């Protein structure tokens, strides 16, 4: 096993050797651009780490990790279009830097490129990877549609929201880990347990992302702080604030989340204040911890060494405490 920063280095070295720059440039340059913007590369790191958890060298999982990263970035390009987001990782989004049509088409090409990386594996492994990937990709689309639908609804429940973030975010984290297990040819039980570990960790990650969207540092978060509030998204913070607030505050929050002012500064500050006063901010932090601890429970059932369990636990603890 290696340290997280080493897996990041291994993956970045592999990424830099990939030939994405081809003709037509207006199709492939946006792909190079979004993939090169960085980030922590959490999902491919999980694929590499999981392969070594199950006793196969990380290098055998590099192609699968690349597929995960390209698919993730594809989803970001299209999400940014749907959200009309100006920034991604502190830089212009693809559709802002180029145009809407380029963002759509380059995103489509990324989805196909992701599948091509599975072709580097022997038939049985290819089939298992592609089957999991297809299931996951469709779930991500379903989660995205629920996310869009919820913007227009005023009756979204917390269970509905949790199902949405499970599909939109957590399933890809879970699949990234299971792909490492598939490459390693571990037992079905181990592969399913590591999927469950990733699913719970993915839920914690998305709730942390929701929290940081409102309360993160704009210098380090890399996205527009308050973006979910501007977009009237019914996040866990919002739903908990409605549940915990008195009638007047709940009514104020609901009224706020059907407005789209030109200047969102006051809207963001009022919403954040209600999140804090109601206790929704604390409830969200508690939920992040709960899902992280649920992930840790699966480690006890896994047929791996205590040292490897500790590595996975350390990763989860670091993720739970992230600031960006």
- Report the interhelical angle of 280-299 vs 236-244 (nearest 10°): 120
Do 312 and 201 form a contact (C-beta atoms < 8 A)? no
Report d(CA 131, CA 153) in Å as an integer: 33
pLDDT of residue 224: 67
Q: Rounded mean pLDDT of the chain?
A: 92
Is residue 221 pLDDT above 80, yes or no?
no
End-to-end CA distance of the chain: 25
Please give the structure tokens belonging to residue 22.
């081809």
Least confident of 17-21, 185-189, 299-303: 17-21
Least confident of 21-25, 47-51, 121-125, 308-312: 21-25
pLDDT of residue 152: 80
pLDDT of residue 219: 64
CA–CA distances in Å: residue 105 to residues 19, 24, 86:
19, 12, 18
pLDDT of residue 237: 96
pLDDT of residue 233: 86
User: pLDDT for 58-77, tens place per residue?
Assistant: 999 999 999 999 999 999 99
Give per-residue burial for 111-125: e unless 16+ CB within 10 Å, then b: eebbbebbeebeeeb
Is residue 159 pLDDT above 90, yes or no?
yes
Is residue 234 pLDDT above 80, yes or no?
yes
Which of the listed ranges 15-24, 86-95, 164-173 does the model predict with the highest average pLDDT? 164-173
- Please compute the mean of the pLDDT values over residues 305-318 and round it to a whole number: 90
- Please compute the mean of the pLDDT values over residues 84-100 and round it to a whole number: 89
Is residue 113 pLDDT above 60, yes or no?
yes
Please give the structure tokens belonging to residue 161.
């929201």
Q: Report long-range pairs for 286-289 (Cβ below 8 Å, ≥24 apart).
A: 287/204, 287/207, 287/236, 288/204, 288/207, 288/208, 288/211, 288/320, 289/204, 289/320
82: Cα separation from own chain's centroid: 16
pLDDT of residue 188: 95
pLDDT of residue 206: 93
- Please compute the mean of the pLDDT values over residues 24-41 and round it to a whole number: 90
- Residue 150's pLDDT band (cuts 50, 70, 90): confident
pLDDT of residue 324: 42
Is residue 321 pLDDT above 80, yes or no?
no
Please, what is the Cα angle at 177 between 172 and 182, to 5 degrees?
Answer: 115
Q: Which residues contact 106 (CB under 8 A, 6 or more apart)?
A: 27, 28, 30, 31, 34, 77, 94, 98
pLDDT of residue 290: 94
pLDDT of residue 214: 94
User: pLDDT for 259-308, tens place per residue?
Assistant: 989 999 999 999 999 999 999 999 999 999 999 999 999 999 999 999 99
CA–CA distances in Å: residue 234 to residues 78, 142, 147, 165:
20, 17, 8, 11
Is residue 7 pLDDT above 70, yes or no?
yes
């Amino acid at each position: 096993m290696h340290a997280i920063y080493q897996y990041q280095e291994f993956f970045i070295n592999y990424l830099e050797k990939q030939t994405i720059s081809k003709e037509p440039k207006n199709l492939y340059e946006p792909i190079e651009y979004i993939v090169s913007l960085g980030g922590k590369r959490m999902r491919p790191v999980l694929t590499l780490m999981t392969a070594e958890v199950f006793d196969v060298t990380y290098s055998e999982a590099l192609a699968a990790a690349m597929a995960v990263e390209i698919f993730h970035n594809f989803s970001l390009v299209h999400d940014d279009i749907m959200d009309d987001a100006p920034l991604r990782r502190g830089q212009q989004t693809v559709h802002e830097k180029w145009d809407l049509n380029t963002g759509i088409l380059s995103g489509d090409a990324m989805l196909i490129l992701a599948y091509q990386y599975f072709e580097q594996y022997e038939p049985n492994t290819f089939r298992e990877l592609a089957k999991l990937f297809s299931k996951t990709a469709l779930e991500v689309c379903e989660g995205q549609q629920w996310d869009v639908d919820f913007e227009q609804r005023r009756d979204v429940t917390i269970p509905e929201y949790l199902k949405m973030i499970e599909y939109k975010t957590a399933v890809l984290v879970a699949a990234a880990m299971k792909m490492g297990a598939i490459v390693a040819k571990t037992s079905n039980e181990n592969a399913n347990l590591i999927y469950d570990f990733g699913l719970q960790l993915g839920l914690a990650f998305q709730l942390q992302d929701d929290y940081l969207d409102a309360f993160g540092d704009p210098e380090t978060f890399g996205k527009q702080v308050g973006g979910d509030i501007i977009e009237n998204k019914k996040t866990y913070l919002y739903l908990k604030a409605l549940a915990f607030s008195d009638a007047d505050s709940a009514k104020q929050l609901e009224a706020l989340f059907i407005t789209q002012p030109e200047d969102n500064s006051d809207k963001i500050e009022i919403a954040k204040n209600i999140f804090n006063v109601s206790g929704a901010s604390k409830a969200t932090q508690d939920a992040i911890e709960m899902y992280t601890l649920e992930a840790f429970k699966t480690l006890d059932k896994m047929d791996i060494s205590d040292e490897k369990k500790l590595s996975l636990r350390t990763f989860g603890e670091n993720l739970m405490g992230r600031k960006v």
